[in-house]
């Protein structure tokens, strides 16, 4: 993968970067790396200046020590706004009339991910809304780290016949638990 830029945002819990080459220096860190498709925009909810237009490679990274306080079935989450635009939109303004869907998504990891350095996914506009590169096992997305978008709404001028592309962990279980069935 191509390095797109350097570290952009850091906090004690969370790091936002746009590089796919962050493995070696972060052995005590765990990341969910996500490719967002064209005609989409991802905006970090805690820092609206962290605003990325697709296609783009993003990585949300946590310190492994942040997992210690989690119960076994809890997940650490970082919320983002994910906007889906009409094809052909210029996407300059996040309040643009060409936005079809406004979703709240979460990059998330669980205590199960200890020992894993990264979970790689590709966010898609169509079901099941995540595709997995060869290096990611379906079980990793179900138990270690993923991206979910459980909340959203259509904000197009005419939403007739449009289904809001929301998906949660249960949808990922249905999509990836038995991928061949």
For the entire predicted model, the pTM comes to 0.81
Q: Specify burial of residue 149 (Cβ count, 10 A radius: 0-12, 13-18, 19+).
A: buried
Write phi, then psi, for 77 (nearest 5 degrees). -130, 150
Ordered per-residue pLDDT tens for the chain, 181 residues: 222 222 222 222 333 333 333 433 334 788 899 999 999 999 999 888 899 999 999 988 898 888 888 888 889 999 999 999 999 888 887 777 899 999 999 999 998 887 667 899 999 988 889 999 998 999 999 999 999 999 999 999 999 999 999 999 999 999 998 755 4
DSSP conformation letters of 8-76: -EE-SSEEEE--S--SGGGTTEEEEEEEEPTTEEEEETT-TT-EEESSEEEEEEEEGGGGTTS-TT-EE
């Amino acid at each position: 993968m191509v390095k797109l830029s350097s570290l952009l945002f850091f906090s004690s819990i969370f790091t936002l970067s746009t590089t796919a080459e962050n493995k070696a220096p972060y052995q005590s860190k765990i990341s969910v790396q996500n490719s967002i498709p064209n005609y989409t925009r991802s905006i970090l909810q805690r820092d609206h200046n962290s605003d990325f237009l697709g296609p783009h490679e993003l990585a949300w990274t946590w310190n492994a020590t942040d997992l210690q306080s989690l119960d076994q079935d809890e997940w650490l989450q970082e919320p983002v706004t994910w906007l889906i635009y009409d094809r052909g939109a210029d996407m300059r303004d996040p309040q643009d009339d060409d936005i079809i869907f406004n979703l709240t998504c979460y990059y998330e990891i669980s205590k199960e991910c200890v020992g894993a350095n990264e979970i790689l996914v590709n966010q898609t506009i169509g079901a099941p809304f995540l595709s997995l590169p060869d290096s990611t096992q379906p079980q990793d997305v179900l138990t270690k780290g993923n991206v979910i978008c459980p909340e959203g709404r259509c904000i197009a001028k005419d939403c007739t016949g449009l289904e809001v592309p929301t998906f949660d962990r249960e949808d990922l279980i249905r999509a990836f638990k038995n991928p061949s069935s």
